[in-house]
Amino acid sequence: MKETFFFLGSARCFHTIDWYESAQQNSDKPVKFVTDMVEGEGFECLVDDRNNLIKLLIIDNLLSNSYGGIGHLLRNIVKLLVVPIQILLVKFKIRSSKKSITFAHSTYYAFLASLAGIKYVSTPQGSEVLVRIEDSSLYKLFAYIAHKNAILITVDSLAMKVKLKDLLNLDSEVVQNGIPIDHLKVITKRTEEPKKDDLISIRGIAENYQVLEIIDCCSDSKYLPRLQLCCPFYDDDYFARVQDKVLQTGVIVHGKLNREAFYHCLVRSKIAISIPISDSSPRSVYEAIYCGCIVIVRYNQYLEDLPACMLERIVVTDCAGDWFDVAYEKALEKSKTPFYPTLNADEMYDQKLSFPRVLDSLFTII
């Protein structure tokens, strides 16, 4: 087998697929995608070229039809039960030569790679490091096993880097989540429809993202902005509670949109909102900025890394008192000024450059 880059992860995870596509565009080596989940729980496979898909034991048919509390529990149980089988399949299907490398996206897939004894780069997700390691001693051990044997650990924020060092004594490299900057500029330029004063919620419809609180604030606001809900995913149990509120308020629910439809919602709206309880480096916030939105956010450490031109498009709130009307008013004022990205911002957040940056860090080690 030729020297190959393997991506080990979920074929329904848009973050993982972004990295996979960046690797395809920037590698002279074959790039294969290895997975145990293709579609199910309301998600579709995001790997366009099925010829590059290498299947482990596919667990989709063993999972719930919903993405909620019971669904999460069942998925975790199934994944743990089949770990021995998946490890054997990883060993068999990823034939690592001297220079072949596996990029394991999320802690679970890094866990499989670690126990399979292959050469791998691990990329945990934000909540896995920022929340779960602190919440559970068992998960802390699981995460340590997953990442300790990686030749390189990449994270998308300084907050994750600090947590990994403090809690697991593991070093990591910060590689920023990228966005399709050239494409966003084209969409923004060719959209002639004027922006509306609508407020658009751009994160998951789940407890962490406080969508119910956003709906309440819009309903109580003196500005009464029309709220649109777009999301990459939703938790079924939480979404049911949101729907109850929606029936009373006239909120527009787009739900899960493909990327193009999401971008068109952004370019037609003046203001976006993202106030999760915990956060790492939110790609959707950067996409909203490049689509010309002002974004209302809670303070988070990733803001410290933003170039000045992007920081100017942010309104930071503490979500206390009459925070919503104050933040919305500031956002309306900021929206009067167009967004002019600097070359520095383009270079920092262009997803075409994300994978090459990982390779640069990798080649200093091996």
Q: From CA 60, how far away is CA 339, in angstroms rounded?
A: 43
Q: At what angle do helices 211-220 and 323-334 cross, to 10 degrees?
A: 80
The encoded tokens of residue 113 equal 């790679």
CB 297 within 8 A of CB 324: no
**Residue closest to 56 by CA, chosen among 80, 84, 34:** 34
pLDDT of residue 84: 96
- Mean pLDDT by 10-residue block, N- to C-terminus, for the chain (366 residues)? 84 87 86 87 70 87 74 86 95 76 96 95 93 90 97 94 95 91 92 84 93 93 91 87 84 87 93 94 95 96 94 96 95 95 94 89 78
**Residue closest to 30 by CA, chosen among 2, 53, 11:** 2
Q: From CA 214, how far away is CA 275, in angstroms rounded?
A: 9
The set of residues, in sequence order, having a beta carbon less than 8 Å from that of 104 and lying 6+ positions away, is 8, 9, 110, 112, 113, 120, 121, 122, 123, 150
Q: From CA 2, how far away is CA 97, in angstroms rounded?
A: 8
Residue entry with tokens 């995460």: 143
pLDDT of residue 66: 67
pLDDT of residue 304: 92
pLDDT of residue 50: 67
Letter for the amino acid at 333? E
pLDDT of residue 12: 85
The encoded tokens of residue 285 equal 């916030």
Residue entry with tokens 């967004």: 339
pTM (2 decimals)?
0.90
**Strands ordered across the beta sheet of 31-35:** 53-55, 31-35, 5-8, 101-105, 120-123, 152-155, 173-174
Strands 101-105 and 5-8: parallel
pLDDT of residue 160: 94
**Residue closest to 6 by CA, chosen among 123, 89, 119:** 119
